Structure 1
Amino acid sequence: MKKSLCIFSILMFLLSVPVHAIHGNVNGYFSKQKGAKGISVSENVQKDALQKVFKLRNGDLIFQNVNCGPMCDAINEVTKGYHGAKFSHVGIISIDKGKVNVIEAISKGVSVTPLAKFLSRSVDDNGKPCIAIGRLNNKHLSLIPKAIDEAQKYIGKPYDDYFDITNDAYYCSELIYLIFLKANNNIPIFPLAPMTYKSPKTGEIFPVWEDYFKGLNIPVPEGKPGINPGGISCSESLTMFFPFK
């Protein structure tokens, strides 16, 4: 959600190798995923480290937790992700002619970002990407082509600094909400909820949000409808995977 989500670079390798997916639990390995079709993506996190491999599919949602200082800390404190995971950003995988990109809303607007660049923004102390994958369940798989088409229409649209779902600008989770809403005949897959900018510990607006919206010359939009990456990750419409845990 934060504007400054566009930095760094790393090296990715596309391999045709067996696929292992970690899903359902952020703390351990799970069984090999069978029958998946897509692009095998591996990240060589260290020279001597074991490669972690996950087979991405078109339309997968890709979540990450970027370090953007107090604003991301505030986001994480009031939004809860799948099994307690912390997410401050989300995009959608687009695979075209073997090229894996992420369509996302970032500071420069709705953009197409190479997967390697996306993964580089959030890594742990060992250089492993801090990401998770949300895969639509069978009920909604047929919506993916139309959702990708919808996402393409928004490329170049501005970033939504105001977090206002009624304007013609878009923040990361708003983009995901909207493209699947339109793909599903205006029936939401990921519902909106009242947004809060208050600390659950104090009940007061976080100072970082007070300063942020003061700079925009608008009141803090407390209670206005919106959506966040953590909320999307908890949707029953998704199965969550943690390929680098």
Structure 2
Amino acid sequence: MKNLLYSLLCILFCGCTTTSFNISDLKPGDIIFQDVDCGPFCDAVDKVTSGYNGKDFSHCALVVQENDSLFIIEAVGQGVVKTSFHQFFGKKIAAGGTLVGRVKKQYAYLAPKAAKNAFQYLGKEYDDVFDINNDKYYCSELVYETYREANNGKDVFKLFPMTYKDPDTQDYFPIWVDYFKKLNVQIPEGEPGLNPGGVSKSDYLDIISISF
């Protein structure tokens, strides 16, 4: 089940300028947003949240630098891992595509700090119960924590109450009922969290399209 969810935004709740550049223009601290095709889980996510300009995003990750090389640190089913650009940008992407979030100029000092912070999370477990307070991490939680640390413990990206309910019926999505039942945990309805879509709409970010 974790492998199906590695790209899931994992937590549900509920003027940027768009320019364009190439992968070679990425910088440490950039946040990559992807609409990864993960089936019914992503369908449930898409129904209750949206990202920048109405787009759907089910995954986000950080660009980091080690020596002269850039790569990705992301929280996936296997935990927090280091991923090459080739592997990361080779995923099957749905209609929302891939966009880059870069902190605005007045906050640029946060980006390299956040990228450096990401290394300490390598090897941490994936947060399959989406608990912001445990020592496990889902994709947007990893971004949240690295930037919060860079900002001296103050939130950059906002936490909101999660929901796992279909907005049309106010009933829990069956896929979430089954998921949490298998984990033998209560559905964390209303607990604080965040998702890639919400992060992409942050006032701290400019959103940039990317060419391949």
Q: TM-score range by the shorter chain?
A: 0.7 to 0.9
Residue 135 (structure 1) aligned with residue 102 (structure 2): yes
Evaluate the alpha carbon distance shift between residue 156 and residue 244 of structure 1 in structure 2; reply closer, same or farther with a 3 A threshold: same
Which AA in structure 2 matches 1:203?
Q
Partner of 1:88: 58
Cα RMSD of the aligned pairs, angstroms, is: 2.3
Q: Deviations over 1:9-65 (max 9, x none)?
A: xxxxxxxxxxxxxx835xxxx5x77xxxxxx53xxxxxxxxxxxx621111100101
CA contact 1:59–1:148 (8 Å) conserved in 2: yes
Q: Is the 8 A contact 1:131 1:244 kept in 2?
A: no
Contact 2:164 2:173 in 1 (8 A): yes
Structure 2 counterpart of 1:101, which letter? F
Residues 136-168 of structure 1, C-alpha deviations (whole Å, 9 max, x = no match): 012221112221221100000000000001111
Asked if structure 1 preserves the Cα contact closer than 8 Å seen for 2:35 and 2:93, the reply is no
**Cα distance, 1:223–1:124 mapped onto 2, change above 3 Å:** closer
Instruction: Quote the offset at 1:171 in angstroms.
Output: 0.2
Structure 2 CA distance for aligned equivalents of residues 210 and 83 of structure 1: 30
Retained in 2: the 8 A contact 1:5–1:66? Answer: no
Match of 1:241 in 2: 208
1:118 matches 2:88: yes
Give identity over the alignment, percent: 43
Displaced runs of 4 or more, over 6 A: none
Alpha-carbon deviation of 1:6? 6.8
Q: How many residues align?
A: 203
Q: What are the ranges of 5 or more consecutive residues in structure 1 without an aligned counterpart?
A: 8-22, 34-39, 42-53
SS in 1 for 2:89: helix
Q: Does 1:156 align with 2:99?
A: no
Question: Would the alpha carbon gap of residues 6 and 208 (structure 1) be closer, same or farther in structure 2, given more than 3 Å must change?
Answer: closer
Give the residue type in structure 2 aligned to 1:56.
L
Q: Which residue of 1 aligns with 2:75?
A: 105
- Distance (Å, rounded) in 2 between the aligned partners of 1:165 and 1:231: 15
Q: Which moved more, 1:91-100 or 1:171-180?
A: 91-100
Whether the 8 Å contact between 2:64 and 2:116 is mirrored in structure 1 is: no
Kindly indicate whether residue 60 of structure 2 is the aligned counterpart of residue 60 of structure 1: no
- Alpha-carbon distance in structure 2 between the residues aligned to 1:152 and 1:73: 31
With a CA cutoff of 8 Å and minimum separation of 6, indicate the structure with the bigger relative contact order: 2
Structure 2 spans left out of the alignment, 5+ residues: 8-15
Within the alignment, does 1:188 sit opposite 2:159 as a pair?
no
**Structure with a larger share of its residues in helix:** 2
Q: CA offsets per residue over residues 214-236 of structure 1, 9 Å max, x none?
A: 01111110000000000000001
Q: Which amino acid aligns with 1:71?
A: F
Normalised to the residue count of structure 2, the TM-score between the two structures is: 0.88
Q: Tell whether the 8 Å contact from 1:195 to 1:226 is kept in structure 2 after alignment.
A: yes
| Structure 1 position 215 matched with structure 2 position 186 | no
Matched position secondary structure for 1:139: helix
Measured after TM superposition, the shift of residue 203 of structure 1 is 1.1
Return the index of the structure with the highest Cα Rg.
Answer: 1
Question: Which letter maps to 1:218?
Answer: V
Paired residue for 2:17, among 20, 24, 35?
24
